[in-house]
Amino acid sequence: MKKSFALVIVLILLVGCGKGGDTSGQKADTSIVFEELNFAGTYIGLHGSGITLFSDGSAEYFWKDWSNVEVGDSWEYVDNKIVFHSTNLGYDIYADISGNNSSTLNFMGVGDTDWQDEMFVKISDDTSNKSVDEYVGLIEKQLNVKLDRVDADETKIAEYSGFTLEYPGSFVKGEENQGAVVYSDEENGMGLVIVTKLLNESGASEDTKETVRGAFDEYLEFSLEKVLASFEKEIDLQSDGVSIVNISNDSLKTKTAKVDGDEYNKYYTVYYDEETLLGFVTVFLIENTNDNLQVYKDIVKSVKYIGNGYDSTTDELHVDLQKEASNDDGVDPELKEFLDSYEAFMDEYVEFMKKYNANPSDIGLLADYTEIMQKYMDFSETVEKYDADEMSKDDAKYYMEVMNRVNKKLLEITE
């Protein structure tokens, strides 16, 4: 049930902060259901999730990459469906009940959502609260895999157009969207947006650059106004709910504006290298109930301009000649071999899930379930390690073609 917090960030940046829907849910009287089908218990999902449904209509949820268990969720039985109300999702998910089967629940989204359907298998009637380690153990045992857990204390490094920054290991990198790359920490309600196009004054004369250096604070404010105008509607530095925040950087000139929101607060920061006058932008989002800004202060402080490979006259990165030469050879054979095997397995997976959804009590299908899940987890973990941005042009093109075909096939599962 990992929600796409990266999508939430992009939408907030496009339309501004707003209140989400009510996801608290209402607890239903499920006593009759318990007597007949007994849905209460512990379930493990195909994608690496764990859910415990409690007898009073409450629930808890865990995703394999989280460092905490999501508590305060709820569920109810309505019109032959189990409806799950999450405290983090902006919508409900549900599982159709087939006959008297309570051993598997295939949770699906309603309408146009970012939810990825996930099959859950009931492994026990245990309705006790569980720790992270307990869920991890159950997932590893049920799926027969070893989870590659993210170390939230680990620091990672990102580099864009000659600027580098450090960010916590709990942040997960998303796809580039409208000239920005999103890093999200779903569990803690935080997101980081890195604008990939630089603020650039490289074409200015030396006299102009000297003038800018002599009035850098005013220039930073001017740049910050331009950034706000790009992201916010009818908001500037003088608007209500907008304030300047003192977040320092030892090597670059910076200025940060805070924009208050109903649900999320946003922090816009501009950075300039004093020598080249090349600029950089980051945006930080954090739930307004969280007043701990230290994570972002550490990110801002870590930003440095190193200039490696950056051509200020074209606003593009230099292409490494060795990598460019390798592009002439077409798609890397090892990458192609893996992607072909991945696509072949996903064909097998889609057909299996279509049969499973049609007859979830089929003993023969249940016997193959663990093997299919193990293969799925192995392939998924390998695919996630690939980054199209770091591939040659031919490799990236073939990679995206395979991913698009696989994603279309996955839609067949719910048709």
* CATH code for the domain of 197: 3.40.1000.10
Within-domain flag for 262: yes
pLDDT, average across residues 237-264: 92
What is residue 12's predicted lDDT score, i.e. its pLDDT?
54
Q: Is the pLDDT of residue 4 over 90?
A: no
Percent of the chain with pLDDT over 70: 80
Residue that is last in its domain, among 117, 143, 169: 143
Within-domain flag for 26: yes
Higher pLDDT, 113 or 184: 184
Task: Output the average pLDDT for the chain.
Answer: 79
Q: Are residues 117 and 188 in the same domain?
A: no
Question: What pLDDT digit, counting tens, does each position of 11-41 carry?
Answer: 555 544 433 334 334 444 444 443 456 889 9
Q: Are residues 290 and 218 in the same domain?
A: yes
What is residue 84's predicted lDDT score, i.e. its pLDDT?
94
Q: Are residues 393 and 353 in the same domain?
A: yes
Within-domain flag for 360: yes
Q: Is the pLDDT of residue 265 over 80?
A: yes
Structural domains counted in the chain: 3
**Residue from 78, 108, 123, 97 nearest 37 by CA:** 97
pLDDT grade for 386, boundaries at 50, 70 and 90: confident
Residue that is last in its domain, among 89, 116, 143: 143
Q: Is the pLDDT of residue 203 over 70?
A: no
Token match 């990165």: residue? Answer: 317
Residue that is last in its domain, among 99, 118, 143: 143
Q: Is the pLDDT of residue 61 over 80?
A: yes
What is residue 24's predicted lDDT score, i.e. its pLDDT?
38
Q: Are residues 198 and 256 in the same domain?
A: yes
Q: Is the pLDDT of residue 225 over 80?
A: yes
What is residue 160's predicted lDDT score, i.e. its pLDDT?
85
What long-range pairs does 29-35 form, CB within 8 A, spacing at least 24?
30/55, 30/57, 30/76, 30/77, 33/77
Q: Is the pLDDT of residue 169 over 80?
A: yes
What is residue 101's predicted lDDT score, i.e. its pLDDT?
64
What is residue 22's predicted lDDT score, i.e. its pLDDT?
41
Highest mean pLDDT among 58-67, 208-217, 316-325: 58-67
- In DSSP notation, 299-320 reads HHHH-EE--TTEETTTTEEPPP
Q: Are residues 124 and 159 in the same domain?
A: no
Q: Are residues 313 and 331 in the same domain?
A: no
Q: Is the pLDDT of residue 196 over 70?
A: yes
pLDDT, average across residues 129-136: 91
Higher pLDDT, 65 or 127: 127
- Tell me the C-alpha distance between 393 and 226, whole Å: 33
**Residue from 142, 127, 187, 147 nearest 3 by CA:** 187
pLDDT, average across residues 57-84: 89
Question: What pLDDT digit, counting tens, does each position of 84-114 carry?
Answer: 998 877 788 999 886 556 688 889 887 777 7
H helices present in 151-289, as ranges: 206-214, 216-231
Q: The tokens of 34 are what?
A: 């318990």
Higher pLDDT, 406 or 370: 406
What is residue 99's predicted lDDT score, i.e. its pLDDT?
58
- Three-state SS for 107-176 is EEECCCCCCCCEEEEEEECCCCCCCHHHHHHHHHHHHCCCCCCCCCCCEEEEEECCEEEEEECCCEEEEE
Q: Is the pLDDT of residue 309 over 70?
A: no
Dihedral over Cα of 258, 261, 265, 266: its sign: negative
Percent of the chain with pLDDT over 90: 27
Q: Which amino acid is at 46?
A: L
Q: Are residues 309 and 331 in the same domain?
A: no
Q: Are residues 294 and 346 in the same domain?
A: no
Within-domain flag for 149: no
Within-domain flag for 82: yes
Q: Is the pLDDT of residue 315 over 80?
A: no
Within-domain flag for 148: no
Contacts of residue 411, Cβ cutoff 8 Å, sequence gap at least 6: none
Higher pLDDT, 193 or 292: 193
Q: Are residues 35 and 131 in the same domain?
A: yes
Q: Are residues 383 and 314 in the same domain?
A: no
Contact 82, 97 (CB under 8 A): yes
Within-domain flag for 163: yes
Within-domain flag for 237: yes
pTM above 0.85, yes or no: no
Q: Are residues 57 and 81 in the same domain?
A: yes
Token match 């008297």: residue? Answer: 100
Q: Are residues 342 and 306 in the same domain?
A: no
pLDDT, average across residues 398-403: 85
Give residue 333's domain range. Answer: 327-414
What is residue 19's predicted lDDT score, i.e. its pLDDT?
36
